[in-house]
Structure 1
Amino acid sequence: MKKSLGLSFGIAILIGGTIGVGILRTPGAIAGLLDNYWLIIACWFIGGLYILIGANSYAELATMLPKAGGSYNYIKRAFGDYAGFLSGWFDYITNAIPPAFYCIVISEYLVILFPTLESQMTVISISFLVAFTLLHASGVKSGSIIQQLTSLIKVLFFVALIVACFRYSGLKFNPIEKDTPFFEMGIVFGFFKSLQLIIGTYNGWHSVCFFAEEDENPGKNIPKSLYTGAIIVIVIYILINMAFFQVLPVSALANSPLVAADVAKVVFGNSGSVIVTVIAIFSLISILNAYMMIPARILFGLSRDGFFIQKGTKINKGGTPIVALMVSSLFGLLLISIGSFEILFSFATFMSVIVWGLAYCSLIKLRLKEPNLPRPYLSWGYPWSTILVIAATLALLAGFAFSDTKNFVIILIISFLSYPVFLLLNRRNKGE
């Protein structure tokens, strides 16, 4: 693949691939689950701390094995072909789902501006998917330029919204509406369910790793991109939640599907709500652009190792893995037709955390198995920082399994069915 990407793209793809639909929609759901200001802020902080420690491990992995596809490469190298196959397809499904729900949510916001379009929501969603498929089919440079521009403007928009909310509220904290003991079973359930949603909003924090093979200097650019982008996202997420709850109390925003719009109506009036809706659409377009690029890189890596069709490795003149892009877009089209936001979001988060956990384990395995591999960046605090993030991942997965049994069962079924498929592909590859 062409080495045409740099540090500015790395930071932009991380910010653009993370900030978007989650932070605009999940605060209402989390407020409904916890109904406690400080517990909500603590959840966002814990989620941010988790991905920051994770970035430390990924910085070493991605610079050690700078290949298209990200996590899949590290897990395969550490634990063998089947682990690579399973994690690669988990990661692919996780990252091929977002374009569908971003298209769905963009159409929902457009209907707010133009209510007469309500009957055309599916058509609008599909139109955005097709338009961005054509954009990325034209080449990597087009997607890179749009990503950098939209990510910068998105950060400025969110900063402006945060400042406006704090100025309106006078920096006074809203009283906690209900103080429920944390160790009640319902609150424990709500806490882990909230963490699942929050980790979902942080999903995308390692986006730059998928493009390591296309980076001009991955040894320097990837660690800088990971830390810079992650810190910016964490700060924005915590501040935007604090800002929202300065304007309206937790109880008023509980279970609101569009928290940003509710807050904007109070701060700016009806016209301000329209402005924020436009900003939201723009923000979502930025994250959609990022996630149109990521799944194709994973599918390219899987194809190169014989875990998908050989044509999946085809690169067009613009540097785009064109067959992988088209297959991913068709998958997104199917999801637009059958999936709801909440179902897709929770499922993708569950699978993401599984892949991250396996990647963290692969760091320890590769340190022991291949100590002489070139490592341009060494994870600080190793092995304790890695052990800590593995323990946190196991705790999250246990909590998710408890609070989201349905998706846990689906993932177990997919895992069970994957092995016969792996054996068939292995037999085909050996036959070739």
Structure 2
Amino acid sequence: MAQHLSHTNHLKKVLGIAFGLAVVTGSTIGSGILRTPGSIAALIPDARIIMCCWIAVGLYIMLSASAYAELTTMMPKAGGAYNYIKRAFGNYAGFINGWFDFITNAIAPAYFCIVLGEYSVLVFPEFASHQKWISLGFLTIFMLVNLPGVKSGSFTQKVTSALKIVLFLVLIVGCFIHGPHPVETGRLPIPNGMIEGSVVIALFKSLQLIMGTYDGWMSVSFFAEEDQDPNKNIPKSYLMGALTVTVLYVLINAAILYVMPVGYIAKSPLAAADAANVAFGEWGATLMTAVAIFSLVSILNAYMMIPSRILYGLGRDKFFIKQSTVVNNGGTPYFSLMICYAFAFILIIVSSFEQLFGLATFMMIIVTGFAFASLIILRKKEPDLPRPYKAWAYPYSTWLALLVTIALFMGFAISDTFSLLIIMGLILVSYIGYKLFVGPQTKYHE
């Protein structure tokens, strides 16, 4: 037993660029793109504005990926953005952002399992009364897949991500080949609320949904310590992954808007499935529902891996209990994995998709903003740090990304006051947690 424990605080360097691309695409493309087109169409009754929003956020993600690539290659450590924030702003800022990042990513398996349960019931309606049990079953299966070691999780990620992209391309091609639905197309009448001034709120609510759909593009940062050649693989994984996701999202939305008018999309909780029904006939909805279940498997697998790496990093820096750094012989921080499993299990029982999705997006934008600010601070504070990769067009691109992030935060604060209150409450109690775990110590893992 002692021999086993002597190696329990080290992750294995076994990952490469194939996994990097797989985890970016796999952890990003999932339930958001399947569910949000209908909600966005209900908020913004104009196809051109909808497409502009998806393209604009995609460009923002590309700038963000470039900034994160510099930070991650500079500090290739498990846990992601909180490492950079801690170095730039100090231990408390690192602590609170690390926990925000953990909550954001630990929430994700819960809402992906909820959506998997919803889709499963569509295929097998006789199990409608067991939807929560189906969701919990998916969570348990993918905890068990990742428990033995990082290689089993990595293999699952690469296979499911590749097949998911192929299947979405089938949907896109099918929609453009079939042509528009034979009903009146065009824009919806503009709701009175928009005329009276709520258009800004509607726009920011839409951007919040789109941002949540893009969430996952920074997934490479959580596995940097396990990469065989981070200086080479991480920038490629970020940029190629972000570009792939952006192009695919724009094409998916274009395909859905091509075959169905905005008014139909606005009434659809599962617009991708309805578009498949138009493109492939009556069997298309059932087929694409099954495809959606499979594609969600990929994103669930990624989010079973990610939050345990954040807890591992937090534990190593003494921001959490030391047991979170225990790693099994296969390279999985299994104690952290079990904590994440229990957290998601409870959320599935007590929460809904919409509540979880909005809160996670809000927290993500806070951590991302601090990460951009960290890049600016560290360029000034520690100019001689080795930087194997440097962000595009710095400082203009990074300042632009930071200002956009601040604007999005302000918009979300106006449009989603419930999530804002939760976050404010977490900030108020965070200092107690900081003192509890950190205590009087001043030195941390570098």
TM-score, normalized by length of structure 2?
Answer: 0.94
**From 18, 23, 35, the counterpart of 1:8:** 18
Partner of 1:348: 360
> Is the 8 Å Cα contact of residues 44 and 203 (structure 2) preserved in structure 1?
yes
Is the Cα contact below 8 Å between 1:174 and 1:246 reproduced in 2? Answer: no
Does the 8 Å contact 1:107/1:121 carry over to 2?
yes
Provide the rounded CA distance (Å) in 1 between the counterparts of 2:174 and 2:414: 39
Q: Which residue of 120, 127, 143 maps to 1:117?
A: 127
User: Aligned to 2:233, which of 213, 217, 221?
Assistant: 221
Determine the C-alpha separation between the residues in 2 that align with 1:377 and 1:148.
25
* 2-structure distance, mates of 1:20, 1:63: 27
Q: Does the Cα contact within 8 Å between 2:369 and 2:405 map onto a contact in 1?
A: yes
How far the C-alpha of 1:375 sits from its partner, in A, is 0.6
Q: Deviations over 1:228-282 (max 9, x none)?
A: 0111111111111111111110001104211112122222222111110111000
Q: SS in structure 1 opposite 2:418?
A: helix
Letter in 2 for 1:167: I
Q: How many residues end up aligned between the 2 structures? A: 432
Instruction: Say if 2:35 and 2:270, in contact at 8 Å, map to a contact too.
Output: yes
For the 8 Å contact 2:180–2:259, the answer to whether it is kept is no
Structure-2 residue corresponding to 1:326: 338
Structure 2 runs not aligned, ≥5 long? 1-10
Residue 86 (str. 1) matches residue 96 (str. 2): yes
Aligned to 1:258: 270
What's the offset of the Cα at 1:380?
A: 1.7
Give CA deviations for 1:172-222 in whole Å, capped at 9, x if unaligned: 994223367988522111100000000000000010111000001111111
Match of 1:99 among 105, 109, 131: 109
**1:178 corresponds to which of 178, 189, 197:** 189
Task: Pick from 386, 409, 419 the counterpart of residue 397 of structure 1.
Answer: 409
Residue of structure 2 equivalent to 1:157: 167
Query: Structure 2 vs 1, CA of residues 337 and 220 (structure 1 numbering), >3 Å: closer, same or farther?
Result: same
In angstroms, what is the RMSD of aligned CA positions?
Answer: 1.8
User: How far apart are 1:121 and its partner, in Å?
Assistant: 0.8
- 1:131 corresponds in structure 2 to 141
Aligned partners of 1:205 and 1:229 also within 8 Å: yes
Query: Aligned match of 2:252 in 240, 250, 254?
Result: 240
Given the alignment, which residue of 8, 28, 34 partners 2:44?
Answer: 34
Q: Which residue is 2:4 aligned to?
A: none
Partner SS state of residue 17, structure 1: helix
Deviations 1:344-393 (A, max 9, x none): 00100000000000000000111111111111001121111111001000
The reply on whether 1:287 has 2:302 as its aligned counterpart is no
| Structure 2 residue aligned with 1:383 | 395
Any runs of at least 4 consecutive aligned residues in structure 1 with deviations exceeding 6 A, and if so which? 170-173, 180-183
* Cα deviations by residue, 1:103-122 (Å, 9 ceiling, x for unpaired): 11111101001101011111
Partners of 1:126 and 1:333 within 8 A in 2: yes
Contact 1:354 1:397 in 2 (8 A): yes
Using the alignment, how far apart are the partners of 2:99 and 2:195 within structure 1? 37
- Residue 66 of structure 1 deviates from its aligned partner by 0.1
Q: Is the 8 A contact 1:3 1:213 kept in 2?
A: yes
- Share of identical aligned residues, percent? 54
